[in-house]
Structure 1
């Protein structure tokens, strides 16, 4: 799992730090980049055009400026990011939210667990699958 980057799109600094700690505790040897809102996330990804994109984007649904839905729509509309894996991380388990994000092109939807130990385990599994097992077109 080493040498790959994850882009976390999370507007809450405490949640972003919790995720950073969880990745460190999970043993993931990846670089975690954080964008604090949808505009920042799209700017980060556009700046990487023609370069190596993150292995996966972890996307919060409720963001300032551009929400997760709008970010996902923009990613799927751009040929450079159309196949970029996007995992929605949300506290919501509402069937409508889940269905909407999949309809917009999410690759996965994961409800954030409340207990920290469960959160670390979730992060470990996300890292293991998306950084080690998943194969991306043209990126191996």
Structure 2
């Protein structure tokens, strides 16, 4: 019996599955997640009792702890699993699944539902930080977008831009959804020259953000670098399969500023970029 067959046969232990390109992460309540080389659609056909709440998420209803309806018309709903993980319900699927998901919630006490507030970041609200002011930048400024939740690492990322690349500005996002929404609403000429994804572990959020960038015909040309602090299994292969341009294993905060500097020097100075992404500052680019 193959590993995939064993996992499917032991489906009661699975809390949810998340897809990334032709790979699927299988998540368990008390065991480490497993990366398998099968698309999410395969598992959807093998696990008919599971519910597809998003194009990248398939959940086991037995592990639903709480359901958060959309707060606004254009916001996704949210499911909180017993593991504590929070997953978005796509707007298109919410109306189809509302009744089904409510049934799974009926055994939960009302006071438990109200006791824990779902963080607003899961509702796709834009949380961004402008590191360089508009007045300090030349008219021809270019942007870097970065998904990073660690304040110390944010500081090092922004310091590198301030000190050596003053013709760039950097915009931070607290979640991948906000980053993608900003890119979608940005004019072509104002798209970032470089995207940085800084994560502790490779999981659904990072892979979904990476895949969203690289599956878009306009965004796929933008160099995307992912920093990983805790590598496991086939993380590197999965990131490259999803379209990452560079995967950097970086566990030490003490050397992080040096690593970031090398990334900047390569992608902003030496690498040949598409015409609309080229620096118009002092950096020298290969054409």
TM range (shorter): 0.7 to 0.9
Q: 1:94 aligns with which of 219, 232, 247?
A: 232
Tell me by how many angstroms 1:119 deviates.
Answer: 1.7
More strand by share: 2
More helix by share: 1
| Two-structure CA RMSD over aligned residues (Å) | 2.3
- What is the TM-score of this pair, normalised by structure 1? 0.82
Change (3 A) 1:88 1:52: same
Larger radius of gyration: 2
**1:135 and 2:277 aligned:** no
Q: 1:125 aligns with which of 262, 267, 287?
A: 262
**Unpaired segments ≥5 residues, structure 2:** 1-137, 279-287
CA displacement, residues 4-39 of structure 1 (integer Å, 9 cap, x when unaligned): 3221111233432232234445x2323111011011
Instruction: Give the match's secondary structure for 1:59.
Output: strand
**1:28 and 2:181 aligned:** no
- What is the TM-score of this pair, normalised by structure 2? 0.43
Number of equivalent positions: 135
**1:43 and 2:43 aligned:** no
**Unpaired segments ≥5 residues, structure 1:** none
RCO greater where, 1 or 2, for CA within 8 Å and sep 6 or more? 1
CA displacement, residues 36-71 of structure 1 (integer Å, 9 cap, x when unaligned): 1011110121121423211110113469xx611001
CA displacement, residues 73-95 of structure 1 (integer Å, 9 cap, x when unaligned): 11112111011110001102335
| Equivalent residue number for residue 45 of structure 2 | none
